[in-house]
Amino acid sequence: MLNIAVFVSGNGSNLENILAANIANCQIKLVVSSNKKAYALVRAANHGIDTMILDNEFDESSLLKDLAARKITLIVLAGFMKILNSSFIENFNGQIINIHPSLLPAYGGQGMYGLKVHEAVLKAGDKYSGATVHQVTSIVDGGEIIEQIKVPVFPADTPQSLQRRIQEDGEKILLPAVIKKMCERSLSK
């Protein structure tokens, strides 16, 4: 059984997608938000999941203790708009994944998030974009790629329409599928 903490900052659509997938052998034990007004907190409450808010001055050691107390074995960054520091990442050695709205390594790294990614894809004239789930390391969007999904870019796309298509045809499918595989692998260990 994987005990999961999902880190969010906004709407929580990826959180909802994970919950809707009803993945066997894993349980979301905690939703951690960097934004006290994130709708993801409402989604978590609606599912009876504990929540925690990280302010700018959050105490990493108390967060680590809380995660350990809940026996968290996987952290999923799902629209989390804070960069975790190296010592936190090292504590979870390969057990933190992130979903990014492009086909990494393209359009990743510091400052590449949200509509900025889609604006860059359109400006470059790419025919495809997509979503990537990758391991989190101290290099922003630089960890090992776990899985990707391609999504077409259409001539009439705006950053907003491309973002919606990547969320619906990419992230919604990819993130739950990767988590499901990780849960299945944890059973076979």
Q: What is the pLDDT of residues 134-154, one digit of tens each?
A: 999 999 999 999 999 999 999
pLDDT higher than 70, residue 189? no
| pLDDT of the residue at 6 | 98
Compute the Cα dihedral for 27, 146, 113, 62 and give only its sign.
positive
Indicate the Cα dihedral angle 133, 52, 3, 148, nearest 10°.
-10
Catalytic residue, candidates 47, 100, 118, 134: 100
* Rounded-to-integer distance, Cα 113 and Cα 77, Å: 13
Q: So where are the chain's domains?
A: 2-188
pLDDT higher than 90, residue 185? no
Q: Does residue 186 or residue 83 have the better pLDDT? A: 83
**Residue indicated by tokens 């086909």:** 103
Q: Which of the listed CATH numbers 3.40.50.170, 3.40.720.10, 2.102.10.10, 3.20.20.60 matches domain 2-188?
A: 3.40.50.170
Whether 100 is catalytic is: yes
pLDDT higher than 90, residue 117? yes
